[in-house]
Structure 1
C-alpha cells in the first residue's frame, strides 16, 4: 500500500493529553479533514495527495477507526501490491453479517467555509466502503488484516475483466515479483477447485491458460490478453534479437510466422528515473529509435502501442492488422 503521512487520531491525542478538543477546533476552523470518525488529516496535505495516496490514507483511516476491519478484493490487491484497474471507488471489506453487506458512501468531511459555504472537497474524490459477505481467510500483510494472497487473487480474477485478471495472474506468478510472496500455478489451480461456482472455476482456468510469468509489465499483460480476445495468434514473449553488431533487444512480443515485432510503450520507459538510469528522456527516445531501426533492418515489421490502445480494443486491432497480422477467432469486443 502506498505510504502516506501519519493520520491524526483523536483517541491517541486523548491518551497523551487527556483531550482531543484541539482536533475538533482545528476541524471547525477548516485546518483538518475528518477522514473517518475520530481520524483526521491536514486539509492542505489532503488536497495535495494524488488519488492513490488519498485512497491509501482512507484505508489507513478505516483500519484506525475499526480495528476489526478485514480488507478484501481490490483493496487487498493493493495491499499485496498487485495491479488494480485504476483507483477503486470503495474500500473493500469483508463482513460476517449479511445485514451489514453493501455500499456506504464516503464519510470524509471538512467544515464549510462560513463565507463561501464550501468545504474545499467538492472536486476531490472520496472513498466509501463496500462490505462483502463471504467467507474470508484473514491474514496480516502490509500492516493490515486482509484476505490471504491466494484468496485475494481468486476473489479478483473471477470478477475482473480478462485483461485485468491476466495482469494479476502474471504478476503473482512472475519470477520477477520483487515485493511480497508469489504463488504457483498449482496454488491457483487447487484454490479454483474449491470454488462453488462452475463458471468461476472455468474463469480461473481461462486466466491461467493465458497467464505467463515472462510478462514484464502490467501493460504487456493486458496487451496479451486483449490480443487473445481480438483473435490474433499468440505471440512469443521476450524474444532476443542480434545483428552483425551484436545484441539489439529483447522484445515484448514476436510473431515469427508474420515477421512482426510488437512493443508496448509505457510512460515509465521514458519518465521513470529508475528505468532511465543515467540517460535523459531524450537519450532514451533516441536509443529506442536506433534499436527499432536495427530490427527493421533485419526485415521485421515493428508495431508499437501505448496505454490508450490497451483500453480501446479498436486501436490495438487496427495497429496489429496494419502490421500484417490476421485475426483467427475474435470475440465481439471491437
Structure 2
C-alpha cells in the first residue's frame, strides 16, 4: 500500500474517505491501485477500509468499523449522529440481536435517505448528542432504548445493562431518555428495559439469562454473589444464586477457558461448590435460544436439591 494512503488511514483509525484522501494529496490512481490489489476494501462510494484490518476484525467489530468509516466521510451530513447500536459500538457496549446497517439520526429536524448500508431515523434534539473520538453519537441511555424500540427487549436489555455496568449512564439517565419518547411502536419495549436493567450483568449472556428467567416465571435470583467455603475462604463469585433452592446458575460463554489450566480450575471450583450443597447449572448461548431447555435444566437442579434434603 502506498505510504500516503497508509498515513491517511492511520489518522482516522484504518478507515477513510476517498474524497478526503484526494483533497489531502493522495493520487486517485494510487487509491484505485490499492483497491485492485485488495489492499483497500470499499464499504461505500466514498468509504474505504484497510483490508488487513477488515479481515482480522471479529464480526461484532466490523459494525464499529463501518460506523466510524461512514462518519469520517465528508459526504456524511454534518447534522448526522450515530444512533442505536452504531453509537454504542464505539463505546464497547455489548450488543445482541441487531443488524449490520449503520444507524444514524439527524439533529437539524430534517429527514434523511436510507440505503443498504445506512438507516436514517427520525430527527432528535441535539441535546441528546455527544462526541466519542470526534464522532457525533447519541448519548448511551437514549441509544440503548433506541435499540430496545427497534430490535426488542432482549436486545435493549443487553445494551442498557452494558451501559450501566460500564458506567456510561445512570438509571436516572434511562428514566429521562424514556420520558422524552420517540420510540414509536417500541415504547412498551423501552419501558420494560428501563424496569429491568440494573447493570449487574457482566456480559450479554448474563443479561439474556436474567430475562429468560423472568419470562419463565422462575424465582428472582440474586446476582453476582460471593460464595465462601466452610473455612471462610472465598470460592468465587457466581452469576446467579437461587438461594432457597441452593442452586447456582453460571453463564458459560465458552471464552473464559483460554487454557486447560483454566478449565481445570473452574472444575475444581465447581466441585467445591457442590461439596457445600449447591447444585450448579451451566447455560450456553445455545441453551438461551431454547428457553424450554433452560427451564428443564433449572427445574431439574431444584428437584435434585429437594431430593437430597
TM class by smaller structure: 0.7 to 0.9
| Structure 1 segment 51-200 matched on structure 2, within 5 A | 51-65=59-73, 66-67=75-76, 68=78, 69-85=80-96, 88-95=99-106, 96-98=109-111, 100-102=112-114, 104-105=115-116, 128-136=117-125, 137-174=128-165, 177=166, 181-195=167-181
Q: TM-score, normalised by structure 1?
A: 0.75
> Which secondary structure state, in structure 1, belongs to the residue aligned with residue 72 of structure 2?
helix
Question: How has the CA–CA distance of structure 1 residues 153 and 4 changed in structure 2, closer, same or farther, with 3 Å as cutoff?
Answer: same
Q: Which runs of 5+ in 1 are unaligned?
A: 106-127, 272-280, 326-334
Q: 1:164 to 1:296 in 2, by over 3 A?
A: same
Q: 1:204 to 1:42 in 2, by over 3 A?
A: closer
> Does the 8 Å CA contact 1:265/1:306 hold for their aligned counterparts?
yes
CA distance in 2, matches of 1:237, 1:309: 19
Give the match for residue 5 of structure 2.
none
* Alignment CA distance shift 1:91-1:236 (3 Å): same
Distance of aligned partners of 1:159 and 1:39 in 2 relative to their CA distance in 1, 3 Å threshold: closer
SS at match of 1:189: helix
Distance of 2:118 and 2:266 partners within structure 1? 44
Q: Which residue number in structure 2 is paired with residue 110 of structure 1? A: none
User: What residue in structure 1 maps to residue 18 of structure 2?
Assistant: 10
Q: Which has the higher contact order (CA 8 A, sep 6+)?
A: 1
Equivalenced residues, count: 285
Equivalent position of 2:243 in the other structure: 256
Aligned pair in 2 of structure 1 residues 151, 196: CA closer, same or farther (>3 Å)?
Answer: closer
Q: TM-score, normalised by structure 2?
A: 0.80
> Cα 1:4–1:234, aligned 2, differ >3 Å: closer, same or farther?
farther
RMSD: 2.8
1:236, distance to aligned residue in structure 2 (A): 0.9
- Counterpart Cα distance in 1 of 2:59 and 2:265: 33
| Counterpart residue number, 1:242 | 228
Aligned-pair distance for 1:196? 5.9
Contact 1:220 1:252 in 2 (8 A): yes
Cα-to-partner distance string for 1:226-285 (whole Å, 9 max, x where unaligned)? 1101111110112222223422222111112212111111223213xxxxxxxxx21111
2:208 aligns with 222
Bigger helix share? 2
Distance 1:29-1:297 versus aligned 2 partners, 3 A rule: closer
The aligned counterpart of 2:58 is 50
Q: 1:139 to 1:289 in 2, by over 3 A?
A: same
Query: Residues 189 and 52 of structure 1: is their aligned pair in 2 closer, same or farther, counting only changes over 3 Å?
Result: closer
Q: CA 1:225/1:219 → structure 2, altered by over 3 Å: closer, same or farther?
A: same
Kindly indicate whether the alpha-carbon contact (under 8 Å) linking 1:163 and 1:223 is maintained by their aligned counterparts in 2.
no
